Amino acid sequence: MRGNLLRYGIIGTETEIESQPSFSFVMSQFEVQKLLLDIAESPRRPEFIGPALGSSGVSHQDLEDLGLIRREGEQYVLSFTLLTKADAGIVRRVGEQSARSLAADVLARRDEIESALGRYDVEGVDAGAAAFILLGCFSLDWDGLALAAERGYAATAPEDGYIPWAQERAELSLRAIYWGSHNEYLPDVVVTSFGDHFSRPRHALPDAIWRLELHLAEAEMPASMAAKLVGPAQQALNRMMGHAGRLTLALREGAKTVDELVETSGLRVEDAGPLMELLVELDYATQEGERYRATIPVFTPADRPLVDELRGIGECVLEGWMGSGYDELKEELSEITPMRFGVDFAETFTQIWHYIFGAANGQLVEAGLFADPYAEDRRYHGFIPCVWHPDVWRSREAEGK
pLDDT at 47: 94
Residue 137 has pLDDT above 60, yes or no: yes
Q: Tell me which amino acid residue 183 is.
A: N
pLDDT at 161: 83
Q: Is residue 36 part of a domain?
A: yes
Residue 3 has pLDDT above 70, yes or no: no
Q: Is residue 42 part of a domain?
A: yes
pLDDT at 264: 84
> Which residues share a beta bridge with 275?
none
Q: Is residue 31 part of a domain?
A: yes
Residue 132 has pLDDT above 60, yes or no: yes
Q: Is residue 312 part of a domain?
A: no
Number of domains present in the structure of the chain: 1
Lowest mean pLDDT among 16-30, 52-66, 98-112, 174-188: 16-30
Average pLDDT of the chain to the nearest whole number: 92
Q: Tell me which amino acid residue 115 is.
A: S
> Quick one: average pLDDT of 149-159?
90
Count CB-CB contacts under 10 A for residue 368. 11
State the Cα–Cα distance between residues 33 and 178, nearest whole angstrom. Answer: 27
pLDDT at 398: 66
Q: Is residue 66 part of a domain?
A: yes
- 56-72 pLDDT tens trace: 999 999 999 999 999 99
Packing angle between helix 46-53 and helix 30-41, nearest 10 degrees? 150
Band (227; pLDDT cuts 50, 70, 90):
confident
Residue 118 has pLDDT above 70, yes or no: yes
Q: What percent of the chain has pLDDT over 90?
A: 78
10 lies in which domain range?
Answer: 6-77
pLDDT at 401: 63
> Which residues share a beta bridge with 10?
164
User: What is the DSSP code (8-state) at residue 166?
Assistant: E
- First vs last C-alpha separation in the chain: 46
Sign of the C-alpha dihedral computed for residues 167, 169, 173 and 174 taken in this order: positive
Task: Tell me if 157 sits within 8 A of 72, measured CB to CB.
Answer: no
- 7-53 pLDDT tens trace: 999 988 776 666 678 899 999 999 999 999 999 999 999 999 999 99
Lowest mean pLDDT among 130-139, 215-224, 312-321, 330-339: 215-224
Lowest mean pLDDT among 78-82, 113-117, 168-172, 375-379: 168-172
Residue 1 has pLDDT above 50, yes or no: no
> How crowded is the C-beta side of 129, counted as CA atoms within 13 Å?
25
Q: What percent of the chain has pLDDT over 70?
A: 96
Q: Is residue 166 part of a domain?
A: no
Band (396; pLDDT cuts 50, 70, 90):
low
Residue 385 has pLDDT above 80, yes or no: yes
User: What is the DSSP code (8-state) at residue 194?
Assistant: E
Residue 369 has pLDDT above 50, yes or no: yes
User: What is the DSSP code (8-state) at residue 98?
Assistant: H
pLDDT at 397: 65
Q: Is residue 63 part of a domain?
A: yes
Q: Is residue 16 part of a domain?
A: yes
Residue 91 has pLDDT above 50, yes or no: yes
Q: Tell me which amino acid residue 24 is.
A: S
Residue 2 has pLDDT above 60, yes or no: no
pLDDT at 11: 86
Helix, strand, coil percentages (3-state) for the chain, rounded to 5, are 55, 15, 30
Cis peptide before 201 (omega within 30 of 0): yes
**Which runs of consecutive H residues, i.e. helices, occur in 197-268?**
207-218, 223-250, 258-265
pLDDT at 4: 83
